[in-house]
């Protein structure tokens, strides 16, 4: 079959689909569905914009407690690159190492924020702790849940104790899955040790 004939067939099929769509648009239920879908899209975009504004405000107001979220070693240059993340608000400089096209919506907010406010990011308590940022923020949120009015220095001590317990008490895979669920992490989460997040 020639390309010309194929094109004619496709054109006819599209015309039939368009005609059917026109008929459906006259149906009250379908019309209401399309109206709601349009309204939902508008509300969703407003929600995304508001969420972005809330996160940026949260990053601005947070007095960060920083851990190393990633450490890379460049053997050729003999350099070590460290990324920092905040256990309180989750802001993490490791997003700057990623292609922006592949980031989640939350990561894109973080990426844009850090590109504009990188110098302000380092305010707060700096530690030498190496920890996956998801694990770190999950532990911190559990501490805040139990002690809502805790100050940063005490929270950091509790965080270090909790992290040491996680890293020093050996448990089987079933217990690790249970632990991940309790911390609201993905049950397949495996980055319990600092070395688990080091590249190289």
pLDDT in tens, 160-183: 999 999 998 888 888 888 888 889
Whether residues 155 and 67 fall in one domain: yes
Cβ neighbours around 53 below 10 Å, total = 11
Question: What is the rounded average pLDDT for all residues in the chain?
Answer: 88
Whether residues 86 and 45 fall in one domain: no
Cβ neighbours around 182 below 10 Å, total = 10
Report the domain count for the chain: 2
* Cβ-Cβ contacts under 8 Å for 115 (sequence gap 6 or more): 96
Query: DSSP states of 3-56 as a string?
Result: HHHHHHHHHHHHHHHHHHHHHHHTSHHHHHHHHHHHHHHHHHHHHHHHHHHHHH
pTM: 0.76
Whether residues 159 and 181 fall in one domain: yes
Whether residues 15 and 79 fall in one domain: no
Whether residues 27 and 79 fall in one domain: no
Whether residues 120 and 151 fall in one domain: yes
Average pLDDT over residues 116-128: 79
Give percent of the chain above pLDDT 70: 93
Q: What is the pLDDT, as a whole number, of residue 119? A: 60
pLDDT higher than 50, residue 200: no
The torsion of the CA quartet 131, 135, 141, 145, rounded to 10 degrees, works out to: -120
Whether residues 47 and 130 fall in one domain: no
pLDDT higher than 80, residue 56: yes
**C-alpha–C-alpha distance, residues 200 and 195, integer Å:** 10
* CB contact at 8 A, 111 and 100: yes
* Cβ-Cβ contacts under 8 Å for 46 (sequence gap 6 or more): none
Average pLDDT over residues 66-71: 90
Residue with the larger pLDDT of the pair 75 and 5: 5
User: What is the residue range of 25's domain?
Assistant: 3-58
């Amino acid at each position: 079959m020639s390309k010309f004939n194929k094109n004619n067939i496709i054109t006819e099929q599209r015309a039939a689909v368009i005609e059917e769509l026109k008929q459906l648009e006259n149906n009250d239920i379908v019309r209401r569905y399309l109206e709601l879908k349009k309204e939902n899209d508008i509300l969703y975009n407003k929600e995304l914009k508001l969420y972005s504004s809330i996160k940026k405000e949260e990053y601005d107001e947070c007095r960060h407690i920083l851990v190393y979220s990633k450490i890379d070693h460049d053997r050729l240059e003999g350099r070590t690159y460290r990324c920092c993340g905040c256990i309180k608000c989750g802001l993490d400089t490791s997003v700057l190492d990623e292609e922006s096209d592949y980031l989640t919506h939350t990561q894109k907010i973080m990426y844009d924020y850090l590109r504009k406010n990188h110098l302000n990011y380092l305010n707060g308590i700096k530690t030498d702790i190496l920890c996956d940022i998801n694990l770190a923020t999950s532990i911190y949120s559990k501490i805040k849940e139990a002690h809502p009015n805790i100050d940063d220095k005490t929270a950091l001590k509790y965080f270090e104790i909790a992290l040491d317990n996680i890293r020093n008490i050996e448990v089987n895979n079933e217990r690790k899955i249970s632990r991940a669920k309790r911390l609201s992490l993905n049950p397949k989460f495996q980055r319990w040790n600092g070395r688990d997040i080091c590249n190289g």
